[in-house]
Every structure is written in structure tokens, then in C-alpha cells.
Amino acid sequence: MPMTFATDTKAEAPLPAGSFTYNSPDKVGLMLVNLGTPDGTEYGPMWRYLREFLSDPRVIELPRWIWYPILYGLVLTTRPRKSGANYAKIWNREKDESPLRTYTRGQGEKLAVRLGDLTNVSVDWAMRYGNPSTRSVVEKLVSKGCDRILTFPLYPQYSATTTATANDQLFRALMKLRRAPAVRSVPPYYAEPVYIDALARSIESHLATLDFEPEVVVASYHGIPKPYADKGDPYQQHCLETTRLLRQRLGWSEAKLISTFQSRFGAQEWLQPYTDKTMERLGKEGVKRIAVVNPGFSSDCIETLEEIAQEAQEIFKHAGGEKFAHIPCLNDSPEGMEVIETLARRELAGWI
């Protein structure tokens, strides 16, 4: 006797309100994330930005009971005005925003065009600190139906103070959602051939426009406190490997392309050699012509346009130097966008 199976002929129960069914292909959100920027150069916006930035336990690893009295009692009463004055020197007056926001927006808009063939991918951009916030952009992508998000921290070299905290903020945003999307994070790309080649071509193109040939080219990276590296942060090794590969690609000697670290804050020791001290040393040793590039920054910002292009140049020339050039970051240039597109398409594989 043949076996028979009972079948349920009842209609399928309707989904709860607010639910949606999965269609193929799934909608994927791609979010570029940069460090952050104040909304203005005045005391209030600077205070809010610095409070968020310097309250991050990955940036300042001191216990809060030690750090917060210093932060609120000294730093946030003096630093907002000083930092605001520095931002004012490089502020994008036309758009009334920092160059970092201008370039990051440009990267997002140009990436959306370059990925135009991927009709199920929605591209946006966010800041770890400041606006547009990571949370607001995550919510926007989810509202568009994105059930998968690829986050792209725009830091070539990994550090807990940058890449990790950007990913921390993403997961804080996901914690607020009842239905959180699946996520991926683009890994650090400090040694990627497309990145090294883009840097080299950018350097060669800029040097070709100068009326002098630099005796030394300085690759200046943002520093981190030395104890962070001693505890296992791989940032220093990533930076030095970028310089090594870049030197190899350009065919330069170790004396021609050197590495330094900038932007130290506070009294503790940071990664060395320090950029400002190196500028002074080179000038005093008789070096007359230098150029500085910032391979650790995907976009020009306060640290490159003010600290390097202005302050470092002044230090070098005051010490006896004569010719100084700052090589722009990749920003949203064709070379820079080639890096971002190549890595984005690779990491989207399997989702599109």
C-alpha cells in the first residue's frame, strides 16, 4: 500500500507589521567611515567634538577617574579655542565645513557612481566622531532595506584608536536595532598593491610639478602612545611596512624616504621619531629641500593641512631649510578612488 503524506492547505499566516521578506539579490549597504570632524570652528562645536573624541577609552586608555578631571577641568576649557583657531586656517569656507568632511563626501559620492553596475548596493558615508554619525547612517541604510552592511574604515593601517573604535561604534549602533543586519568590515590595506601603487603614482605626479627635487621625502604618520604599541597594537609595524613597500615601488633608498610620527598629545612617550623634531633636525643638518607625504590619512584634514603643510614647514625653514612641499593625500582623486573601489568590490564578493 503506497504511503501518503498529509498536506496543510491553510493559507500562510501574514507577517507581523514592519516585517519584510527577503528577495534575491539582497540589498547591501556600503558605509565609508572616517575619523570625524567638528561642525564648526567656534567654541561650542569644538567642545562637543573634542569631548566625544577624547572620552573614547580606546583613544585615552587612562581610568576615567584619573582622566575625566583632567579632560573636563583643563583640556576642554583651553583646547577648544586653540583647536578652533587651527581649524579656521584650513576651513572650507565655501561649504562651511572641514576639508575632511568635503573629501569623505566626495569619496562616497564617487564610489556610488563607480559601483553603479551593482544595483543592489547602497553607498553612504559616516564619521566616528561628529556628523553624520555612524548610528544615523546605519539607520538610514537599514530603512532602505539593507540587511547586510559592509563598513569601510578609511584607515590604511590598523590601530585600536582608529579602525577598532570605528567598528565599536558600528556595533553600538546595531545594539539599538531590533533586527540588526549582517556586517563585514574592510580590513586594513597598508600593504595592498593597489594602495601602494596609488601612493607612488600620486607622489610622482606631485613631485613632477615642483621646481625643485627633494633631498628627503618624509612619510609622516599620525602617532599613538608608545605603551599602546608595547601592548600589541600593530600600528607601528603597519606604518613601517607601508613605507618599505612604497620605497621599493619608487626605487628609493632608506635615506631618501623616511618614516616619522606626528600629532602627539600629553606627556607620555609616543611613537618615534617625532615629525616636528625631525623637521628641525633635517634643517639644522643642512638639508635644504624636503617633501612630506601622509600615507596614514585617506583624506587631507587638520593634521595634514595645518600641522604638516603649515607648522612643519615653518619648523623646517626656521631651522635652515629652504624648500618644502606637502604632497596631498589620495582624497577623492582617481588614484584614491581606485583603491576604495578595488577593496570594496573584493569585500562585497559573495554578497552581490
Q: Return the closest-CA partner of residue 306 out of 127, 128, 83.
A: 83
Query: In whole angstroms, what is the distance from residue 92 CA to residue 110 CA?
Result: 19
Same domain, 181 and 210: no
* Model confidence at 239: pLDDT above 70: yes
Under the banding of pLDDT at 50, 70 and 90, the label for residue 118 is very high
**Whether 172 contacts 252, CB under 8 Å:** no
pLDDT at 12 over 70: no
**Upstream peptide bond of 273 is cis (omega within 30 degrees of 0):** yes
* pLDDT one-digit tens code per residue, 240-290: 999 999 999 999 999 999 999 999 988 899 999 999 999 999 999 999 999
- CA 171 to each of CA 131, 134, 135, 176: distance values in angstroms, whole numbers, following the listed order: 17, 10, 9, 9
Q: What nine digits make up the cell of 315?
A: 619648523
Are residues 141 and 231 both part of a single domain? no
- Residues 179, 79, single domain; the answer is yes
Residue 163 has what pLDDT?
98
Both 238 and 311 in one domain: the answer is: yes
Tell me if 13 is assigned to some domain: no
Say if residue 180 is in the same domain as residue 223.
Answer: no
Mean pLDDT value of segment 85-113: 97
As annotated, the binding site includes: 222, 303
Structural domain contains residue 9: no
- Residue 28 φ/ψ, nearest 5 degrees: -120, 130
Could you tell me if residue 125 is inside a domain? Answer: yes
For residue 8, tell me if it sits in a domain: no
- Backbone torsions φ then ψ of 262, nearest 5 degrees: -120, 180
Asked whether residue 15 is domain-assigned, the answer is no
CATH number of the CATH domain containing 275: 3.40.50.1400
321 and 198 within one domain: yes
Tell me, rounded to whole angstroms, the distance of Cα 115 from its chain centroid: 21
Q: Are residues 40 and 182 in the same domain?
A: yes
Cβ atoms of residues 264 and 220 within 8 Å = no
Is residue 10, in this structure, part of any structural domain at all?
no
Q: Flag whether 320 is in a domain.
A: yes
Residue 12 counted as domain residue: no
158 and 240 belong to one structural domain: no
158 and 198, same domain (yes or no)? no
Q: Quick one: pLDDT at residue 16?
A: 52
| Residue list, annotated binding site for Fe(2+) | 222, 303
Mean pLDDT of 313-330: 98
213 and 130 inside one domain: no
Average pLDDT value for residue range 208-226: 98
Tally of domains in the chain: 2
At residue 26, the pLDDT reads 77
Domain that holds residue 61: 28-189+334-348
Are 200 and 317 in the same domain? yes
- 154/212 same-domain check: no
